[in-house]
Chains A and B, each alone.
Chain A
C-alpha cells in the first residue's frame, strides 16, 4: 500500500514570495491534515479536511495561508506572501474515515526555508 505522498521535498524562497505544497493521501482515506512543524517543536495542525470539506482551520493564518482539497483526494497548501517565520516542515497526514479513533499516517514532509 502506497503511503502519503508530498512534493516538493525541499523549497527555498525569499520573503514575500509565494509557494505551494502538494499532498496525495493514502487511497481511500477521507480525512486529510496539514501540520506545521517549526524546528525543535512538535507539529501543530493548520487545517483538517473531511473529504473536500474543512473541519478545522482555526489555527490557519488565513491572511496568508490557503488550502484546498478538490474532489476529496489531493490537497494543496499555499502561502502568499511568505514570511521568515514560515520556515518549517509542512507535514501532510491522512486517516481512514472516522475522525477520532483512527491512526494517522504521515508523509515525508516539505521543508520550507524563507530567506
Chain B
C-alpha cells in the first residue's frame, strides 16, 4: 500500500530565505508526482508535475526533484515571499493496483514572515 509522508509538518521562515520541503513515498513504482499549493479555505492549485522518467521540473522560483529509487521528492522555493505562505501537498499516482488516483501526504504548512 502506497504511503506518502511530508516533513516538516510546519515551517516558519523569514522573507528572502531559500527553503526545501520534503516528500517521501513507500512504493517506487509511481507514474508521476505532483506538488500542490492550498491556501486556507481554498482548493488545490497544481504547481509542478514530474513524470516518473523525469528528474526535475522548474517553474519560476520553484524547482521540484524526483528520486524514484529512494522514494523521495523535494520542492525548493527560492527567495521566499510572504505570498508563498500556504500549505504545500505532494501526491503520487501509480504503484500496485493504482488507477490514476492521487495519494497525498499530509502537507507542510509554510509561513513566510515579512
Residue ranges of A at the interface with B (Cβ–Cβ < 8 Å): 4, 6, 31, 33, 35, 40-45, 48, 55-56, 91, 93, 95, 98-109, 111
Interface-lining segment among B13-21, B71-79, B95-103: B95-103
User: For A100, what are the chain B residues with a Cβ–Cβ distance below 8 Å?
Assistant: 31-32, 93-94, 98-100
Judge whether B42 and A33 touch: CB under 8 Å.
Answer: no
On chain B, the number of residues with a Cβ less than 8 Å from chain A's Cβ atoms is 26
SS class, residues of chain B in contact with chain A: strand
Q: Complex formed: what's the CA distance from A41 to B99 in Å?
A: 22
A33-B101 contact, Cβ under 8 Å, with A100-B94, A106-B44:
yes
Q: Complex formed: what's the CA distance from A6 to B106 in Å?
A: 23
Q: Smallest CB–CB gap between A9 and chain B, Å?
A: 9
Q: Smallest CB–CB gap between B87 and chain A, Å?
A: 9
Does B51 count as interface, using CB distance less than 8 angstroms? yes
Q: Smallest CB–CB gap between B109 and chain A, Å?
A: 9
Additional A-B contacts beyond A33-B102, A43-B44, A98-B100 (4; CB < 8 A) = A42-B107, A48-B101, A100-B99, A106-B44
User: For B89, what are the chain A residues with a Cβ–Cβ distance below 8 Å?
Assistant: 42-43
| CB < 8 Å neighbour of B34 from A55, A103, A107 | A103
Which residue of chain A has the shortest Cβ distance to B42 in the bound complex?
A: A108
Q: Smallest CB–CB gap between B111 and chain A, Å?
A: 16
Q: Complex formed: what's the CA distance from A93 to B43 in Å?
A: 10
Q: Complex formed: what's the CA distance from A95 to B94 in Å?
A: 15
Does B4 count as interface, using CB distance less than 8 angstroms? yes
| CB < 8 Å neighbour of B43 from A48, A56, A108 | A108
A101-B105 contact, Cβ under 8 Å, with A48-B100, A56-B99:
no
